[in-house]
């Protein structure tokens, strides 16, 4: 009889961040603990998002994947070079 080892699922210790707009202000949305936080980019103000804010919240792309795509685009000559290349 064999014992099957317990498999633990790897968990990212860092919270995921998303680009977002709250009440028309651009910023980043994340949940580092129990509350969802919105960091407004211009002033650096941090707002705890409540259920009353949900109708005014637009969640956009994930920051990490967006930044990865941006770096890839710039490494390949920028937006204009990619849009006008023969491969497209």
- Residues 73, 88: Cα–Cα separation, whole Å: 14
pTM value is 0.69
Tens-digit pLDDT profile for residues 64-88: 888 888 888 888 888 788 788 776 5
Q: Which residues contact 10 (CB under 8 A, 6 or more apart)?
A: none
Domain tally for the chain? 1
Q: Is 12 part of a structural domain of the chain?
A: no
- Residues 64, 36: Cα–Cα separation, whole Å: 18
Q: Is 11 part of a structural domain of the chain?
A: no
Boundaries of domain holding 49: 17-83
Share of the chain above pLDDT 70, in %: 84
Give me the pLDDT at residue 21, please. 95
């Amino acid at each position: 009889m064999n014992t099957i080892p317990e498999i633990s699922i790897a968990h990212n210790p860092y919270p995921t961040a998303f680009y977002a707009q709250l009440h028309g202000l651009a910023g980043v949305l994340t949940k580092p603990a129990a509350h969802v936080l919105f960091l407004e980019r211009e002033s650096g103000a941090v707002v705890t998002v409540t259920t009353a804010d949900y109708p005014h919240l637009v969640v956009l792309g994930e920051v990490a994947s967006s930044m990865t795509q941006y770096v890839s685009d710039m490494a390949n000559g920028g937006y204009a070079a990619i849009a006008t290349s023969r491969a497209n």
